[in-house]
Every structure is written in structure tokens, then in C-alpha cells.
Amino acid sequence: MAPPAATTPFPDSESANIKALKNSIGLNGAVKSNGNVKAKTLEEMESKWDTFAFEPIRESQVSRAMTRRYFEDLDKYAESDIVIVGAGSCGLSAAYMLGKSRPDLKIAIIEANVSPGGGAWLGGQLFSAMILRKPADAFLSELGVPYADEGHYVVVKHAALFTSTLLSKVLAFPNIKLFNATSVEDLITRPDPNGGVRIAGAVTNWTLVTQHHDDQSCMDPNTINAPVVVSTTGHDGPSGAFSVKRLVQMGAVKELGGMRGLDMNTAEDAIVKKTREVVPGLIVGGMELSEIDGANRMGPTFGAMVLSGVKAAEEAVKMFEMRKGERED
Ligand code: AHZ
């Protein structure tokens, strides 16, 4: 779709903004770099909006500032220590624990959606509050997310408060890169010395490309090597249970158990207890596990998702320590 056309002329072609830009542009049309622009406080701007102007910029500077960093990240994380597939409540909880406990590891998170967070922006039936059964309140205290204590369970007033706090902390870790709008569309495999395969990384593509393999041809993917992959892609659905479904297709797992009906008490304990390495190199956590194990679903209680993430992080570190010698770079 074409961008909307301007319907009114530019009001002041010699605005302070444009004059500043012209002054700062050299003969070749490039904006001269100025590393010593004095920072202004919001108080200094207050009531001075008539004389207000942004610092000048050339469009290519914006382009380069984004693309240089993105391509540096693609280069850096092409060999990762741990790849987390899916940034829902389980994947983000695992990422938080890993980012905090192992600042020495390179951790890539691949999230198919533009917006990370999976099903954790709302509680059940699109209501706001998020319920977590104890002892998952320990993770909220760790994050500093406030909650109401209701005895056996706690209530966060809005699920988005939990998810935005968790996300902001995960994104701030210098050793974690979130590649969102990017899908894992296959797994890298190697023959395992004990027979079968081990998982050795993730095969990625822009999600928009992944969605168009049926109507466009030859759109080959990209790859990330890693000795440990943690898959937390949720239960089956338009994009869920990705890794376990792929394991069945490639014969690494015989069949899926299929997620069973809702039973909060049974489901949550089972998901945390069974969070594990399902084939060498691949740990599965969160609701993706219900599909392989034939476990119940729990619906709108999130304690198992965060504690499955905490356990997946612990398992990932153990597996990394065992396998780091196998890194191929
Ligand atoms: O976009 C997905 C979501 O953010 C992402 N994802 C799925 N397939 C992917 C792929 N590549 C990259 N191939 C992919 N990303 O994985 C994330 C999964 O988040 P989620 O919230 O669906 O899963 P979770 O296991 O963290 O939490 C599930 C919470 C529950 S329980 C439940 C029920 O019992 O009904 N329903 C939900 C949503």
C-alpha cells in the first residue's frame, strides 16, 4: 500500500529544524557527526515549545544505526550458547534466569510474532488479572512485580504488568538478543553418538517469509548454531508446539501424546516436573510439553509457565556445561 499523500504544503520550509539540518550538512550531503551535543532535561524544555527543535539528522544515519547493529547481532549470535525458541511466559522466564545467572553466555531468543509475550498479556477469557499459584510468587518477588496474596495463590492486577516487567529486564541483559518477527522453521541436527539425532541449533526465517512458503518458492532460511536449544512455543495452534511436531516428522520422537483437557492441579505440577531434555540438545518447557507428554492444560494460571522456565534455565546450564566442548566455531 502506498503511504498517504501529503494534502497540505509543508508549513515553514525554513523552520529552525531545517535551518539546523542545512547548517550541519557538509558538501557531500552528509550530516556532520557531533558527539558533544549537550543533553537537555525535560524541565529545560518546559514552556519553550515555540523555539523547540530536534537535533538534525540525515535519513541514512537512521538506516545505518539500525542495520549496522542488527547485522552485528546476526553475526555475533550465528554461534550462540543457548537458543530459546518462543518468547511467551515460559521462554521469557527461562531467558531471565539465564541472563542473570550466566552473563558469560550468548543467548538468542527467536520469537515468531512482532510482539513478544505469547499468551501472557491477558489472563483467561481476555480478562486483565493474572493468577499464579504458590510457590510461583517467588518469581514475581524476584522481578519486583507487585501482587495481591490470596492464600494459595497470588493475583497480579494486570498480566501486562508481569509481561512488560519481565520483558524489560530480559531485554536489558547485554548477553541476550531477541530476534522477533522471526520464526524457527526447522532444527539443525547432527547424528548423536548414541544413535538418533541431537539438536545443534535453529533454522530461522522472517515470519512473513515463513508464512509464504506455499505461494513463493526458493526462500531459503538462515541458521543459528548452538549446543543447547530450549523450545517453549506453546500448545498446538496456528504456530504452537513447533519443535515437538518437527521431532515427530523427522522420526526423532515416535508420536505426540496430544494436550489433554483442563485440570489445573494435575497440569501445573506435571509441566514443571517434566520440563526436560526430550532429545539430545533440545529442552522443552511450558505448554509445548503438554503436546509431547499428553499432559493436561491448566488454562489461565501461569505459575507452571514461569517455574517451567526457571527449571528449563537450570537444565540448559547443565547441558551447556556438558556440551560446550562440542561447539563448532
Ligand atoms: O509466537 C509464539 C509465542 O509467543 C512463539 N512461537 C511459536 N512457534 C514459534 C516458532 N518460532 C518462533 N516456530 C514461535 N516462535 O512461542 C510463544 C509461545 O508462547 P505461549 O504463551 O503460547 O506459550 P507458553 O508455554 O510460554 O505459555 C502458555 C500459557 C498457556 S496455558 C494455556 C492453556 O492451558 O490453555 N494457554 C496458554 C496460552
The predicted structure's pLDDT at residue 36? 79
**52-110 per-position pLDDT tens digit:** 999 999 999 999 999 999 999 999 999 999 999 999 999 999 999 999 999 999 999 99
Q: Whose CA is nearest to atom 36 of ligand 1?
A: 299
Across the chain, where does the E strand assignment appear? 82-85, 107-111, 130-133, 148-149, 153-156, 176-180, 182-191, 197-206, 222-225, 228-231, 260-262, 276-279, 282-284, 296-297
Strand partners, 176: 107
Three-state DSSP class for 286?
Answer: coil
Residue 308: closest CA among 320, 323, 290, 292:
290
The DSSP call for residue 221 is -
Half-sphere exposure of 309 (CA within 13 A, CB side): 27
Residue 94: predicted pLDDT: 99
Mean pLDDT confidence for 258-282: 98
Length of the chain: 329
pLDDT in tens, 278-305: 999 999 999 999 999 999 999 999 999 9
Spacing, Cα 86 to ligand 1 middle (Å): 6
Q: Is the pLDDT reported for residue 324 higher than 90? A: no
CA distance linking residue 237 with residue 272, whole number of Å: 21
Q: What is the mean pLDDT of the chain?
A: 92
Q: Quote the cell numbers at residue 323.
A: 556440551
For residue 327, pLDDT over 60 is answered with: yes
Banded pLDDT at 247 (limits 50, 70, 90): very high
Task: Report the percentage of the chain scoring pLDDT > 70.
Answer: 88
234 CA: nearest ligand 1 atom: 23
- The C-alpha cell that represents 315 in the structure block: 537444565
CA of 275 to the centre of ligand 1 (A): 15
Kindly state the average pLDDT of the residues 137-147.
98
69 against 237, higher pLDDT: 69
303 Cβ inside 6 Å of ligand 1: no
113 lines ligand 1 (CB under 6 A): yes
C-alpha cell at 50: 515555540
- Using the mean position of ligand 1's atoms as its centre, give its distance from the Cα of residue 11 in Å: 48
**Which ligand 1 atom sits nearest the alpha carbon of residue 267?**
34
- CA pair distance 53, 20, nearest whole angstrom: 9
Q: Are 99 and 175 in contact (CB under 8 A)?
A: yes
Q: Give the residue whose CA is nearest to atom 34 of ligand 1.
A: 299
The CB of 87 under 6 Å from ligand 1? The reply is: yes
- All 3 cell numbers of residue 253? 520422537
Please name the amino acid found at residue 49: W
pLDDT on residue 246 = 98
Helix (H/G/I), strand (E/B), else coil: 203: strand
pLDDT, residue 11, reads: 46
Res 32 pLDDT > 80:
no
Helix (H, G, I), strand (E, B) or coil at 216: coil
Distance separating alpha carbons of residues 211 and 204, to the nearest angstrom:
12
- Return the best residue to mutate from 93, 109, 111, 269 for the ligand 1 pocket (most ligand atoms within 8 A of CB): 111
The answer, yes or no, to whether any atom of ligand 1 lies below 6 A from the CB of 309, is no
- Using 50, 70 and 90 to split pLDDT, how confident is the model at 2? low
Percentage with pLDDT > 90 across the chain? 84
Query: To test the ligand 1 pocket, which listed residue (126, 184, 287) has its Cβ within 8 A of the most ligand atoms?
Result: 287
Helix count and strand count (H, E) for the chain: 11, 14
Question: Model confidence at 22, in pLDDT bands (50, 70, 90)?
Answer: low
Q: Does the beta carbon of 277 sit less than 6 angstroms from any atom of ligand 1?
A: no
Q: Which residues contact 312 (CB under 8 A, 6 or more apart)?
A: 90, 94, 230, 232, 275, 283, 285
Look at ligand 1, atom 13, and give the residue with the nearest C-alpha: 184
Weakest mean pLDDT among 24-33, 113-122, 230-239: 24-33
Q: What is the pLDDT at residue 184? A: 98
Q: Residue 33 has what pLDDT?
A: 56
Q: Which residues pair with 190 in a beta bridge?
A: 198
The residue whose grid cell reads 497540505 is 8
* Stated pTM of the model: 0.91
Q: Is 119 in the pocket of ligand 1 (CB under 6 A)?
A: yes
Nine-digit cell string for 12: 515553514
